[in-house]
Amino acid sequence: MQKKSALILDIAIVIFVIFALILMMTAKTDGSLSSRGLSAFKYYTVQSNVFCAIASLVMIIFTMIRKNSEIPDWLYVLQLTGTTVVTVTFLVVVGFLGPVYGYQNMYLRANLWFHLIVPVIGMIKMLFIRPKRYYPFSITLWGILPTFLYGAVYSVINAVGWTGKSNPETDIYGFLFWGWGIGILFLLSICLLSWLSAIVFRFFSMKIHKPAK
């Protein structure tokens, strides 16, 4: 039952992300934190949702081919990481971007799917995934990697073109509006949020399914 529920949610994630991508990339005008065409992929929101969809697609293929097999370690890590990145998207919108740009803008058109629907489905799905064994705390570090890499690239791009103030073309989230000190603090906080999310999912995964140590 749990495996079937997870499979249904994985299929929903793939379909919804593809739909939201088409919706954003073919929009007649750009919206708040959304862009038409391939420029949509500059956003962490889009990248995190696509990552989550890829993780779901891999899980779907694995489940269909090896129906009665336990989930291998690498696939559990992929699911944990994919869920973590969309959870970060969800939490950053709720705690920062929503108050700054307005929640009505953050949940408009494609962003309704990227910022709310897919992350919530991803979080629910993670609770259905049965790990084949007890995973140590260190596995949660994988949850930081995509967010850290995005933050590193984001920082380098803004540092190269830095003129003494935030450039909205590259500082798309406005993290550097108050300078590099606050900006780096924002980015590190989001990495910490990513890690805490992975810790929470790992905790509940071990608590609910109680795999053997």
Q: What are the DSSP calls for the chain, one per residue?
A: -HHHHHHHHHHHHHHHHHHHHHHHHT-SS-BTTB-SGGGGGGSHHHHHHHHHHHHHHHHHHHHHHSTTPPBPHHHHHHHHHHHHHHHHHHHHIIIIIHHHH-HHHHTSTHHHIIIIIHHHHHHHHHTT--BSSPPPGGGGGGGTHHHHHHHHHHHHHHHHT--SS--TTT-TT-TTTT-HHHHHHHHHHHHHHHHHHHHHHHHHHHHHH----
Q: What is the residue range of 135's domain?
A: 2-209
At 181 the pLDDT is 92
Q: What's the structural domain count of the chain?
A: 1
At 212 the pLDDT is 67
At 1 the pLDDT is 64
Q: What is the pLDDT along the chain (213 residues), one digit of tens a residue?
A: 677 888 999 999 999 999 999 998 888 776 667 778 888 899 999 999 999 999 999 999 999 998 777 889 999 999 999 999 999 999 999 998 899 888 988 898 899 999 999 999 999 999 888 787 889 999 999 999 999 999 999 999 999 988 888 888 899 888 898 899 999 999 999 999 999 999 999 999 888 878 766
Whole-structure pTM value: 0.91
